[in-house]
Amino acid sequence: MYTKNILKAGSVLSFLLLSHNCFSQQIENKLPSWAFGGFVRVEKVNPIISPDTSSRFIDPVSKKSVQWEANDTFNPGAAIKNGKVVVLYRAEDLYGIGIGFRTSRLGYAESSDGITFKRKPVPVLYPSNDIAKKYEWPGGCEDPRVAVTANGTYVVFYTEWNRDLPRLGAATSRDLIHWKKNGPMFKKAYNGKFFNVATKSASILTKVVNGKQVIIKINGKYWLYWGEHHVYGATSTDLVNWAPVVNKDGELKELISPRDGYFDSDLTECGPPAIMTNKGIILFYNGKNKPADGRDTRFTANSYCAGQMLFDRKDPSKAITRLDLPFLRPMEPFEKSGQYVNGTVFIEGMVYFKKKWFLYYGCADSRVAVAVYDPQHPAPPDPVAAN
C-alpha cells in the first residue's frame, strides 16, 4: 500500500508518493469496499465495563469467597438474546501477579441499547469441579468468542488455561447463563494429534440472515478460523468437536501469517466471529506489532491493533487480501493504560444490532469498550499518525 502525503509550503502544494516505511505528519487510511467500518467509539461512555471490587463469589474449587472481577475486566465476546446485547467478558481476580497468573472467569452483562450495561454479580462460566477442571484450574476461562445458531443454541469458544498449556474449549447454552462444557475441542481429531498443542482464539463463521447474525455451514460443515501466531482453520459437524485443517503432510495449514513491517508483524490473532458477505468472508483479527526488528515503526512496539482479512466465499481456506493498515488502534488513554502498557484494542465480540455493528473490545487488558459501525453512515477508520 502507498499513500499520498500533501505538504504545504506557503502557497505551494507539493505532492509526494510515500512507500510503506516513509512517513510524514499524516498518513491517509482508507478502507476498501469489502471492509467494515469505520467504527466510531461511543462518546462519554467508554470504558463500558471496568473492575469492580464489590463483587464476590464463592469459588467452587477453593471454597473461598473471592473478588472475582476486582483486578481487570477485558476481552469480551458478545451475542444477542431476546432483543438485548449480552457481553461475556473476561474477569481476573486479585489473587496473583501478572496477566495469566490470576484466575479468570467470564462475567455476564446485558444491555437494551448496546451501550449501557447491567452486570450479574457472579460469573457464568468459570473453573469448577467438573470435566474441564484439569484444563481450567488454576488459570481459568479466558477470552470468549460467542455466536448463536438459527435455532437459538449459543456456542462460546474460550481458552482453557491450567497454567501449563492453553487449549481451546467449547461450551453450549440456551440462555448464555447456564453452560454445558465439552472440554478441549481438538481432543478427538486425528486420534488426539493436536490435543497437547497450544491453541487459542476461535472465530466461527456467521452470516446475517433475515436481520439476525447466525452460525452457518459452508460445504456442509461448520467452519471456524483460529490461532494466535498464524491463522488456521477447523471444521465440525456438531459445533463442539473440531478437526483442524491440515496440509498434505498432516500438519496445521497456515492460512495467514504475520508480515514484517506491518502492524501485524508479530501475531495475527483471530477476533470476533467471521462474517459471510457478498464480497467474501471477512475475518476480523488482532495484529500485534513486533517489539523491535521487523515491526511497523508507525505503531508502538508490542501494541495490538485491529485488522480485517478477506477469504473466498466458496473456499474459506483461500485468503484473498487483508488491510495493510489497522481500522482500529490504541488512541484513547484507557486503551493505553492498564496492565498492558503498550496499548491494546483487542477485538473479540461483535453483534448486528439495530441495523448497526457493535464492536466490543478489551482495552490494555484492563477494561471493555464499544465502537459502532453504521453501514448507512460510514465513518473513516482510525487515522495513522506517523512517528
At 261-307, the pLDDT tens digits run 999 999 999 999 999 999 999 999 999 999 999 999 999 999 999 99
Q: Name beta bridge partners: 181.
A: 171
Mean pLDDT of the chain: 92
pLDDT at position 8, please?
Answer: 36
Residue 39 CA to residue 272 CA, distance in Å, equals 14
Ramachandran class of 205: left when φ > 0, alpha when ψ lies in -120 to 50, beta otherwise: beta
Q: What is the pLDDT of residue 26?
A: 55
pLDDT digits (tens, 9 = 90+) for 122-136: 999 999 999 999 999
Q: Is 32-373 CATH 2.115.10.20?
A: yes
Give 325-376 pLDDT, tens digit per residue: 999 999 999 999 888 888 999 999 999 999 999 999 999 999 999 999 999 9
* Best CA proximity match to 137, nearest among 178, 176, 172, 181: 181
ω into 38 cis (within 30 of 0): yes
Predicted confidence band of residue 45 (pLDDT cuts 50, 70, 90): very high
Entry pTM: 0.92
Q: Where are the domains of the chain?
A: 1-30, 32-373
Burial track 218-249 (b if 16+ CB lie within 10 A, e otherwise): beeebbbbbbbbbbbbbbbeebbbbbbbbeee
CB proximity list for 298: less than 8 A, separation 6 or greater: 23, 27, 263, 384, 385, 386, 387
CA distance 50 to 71: 9
Per-residue pLDDT tens digits for 63-87: 999 999 999 999 999 999 999 999 9
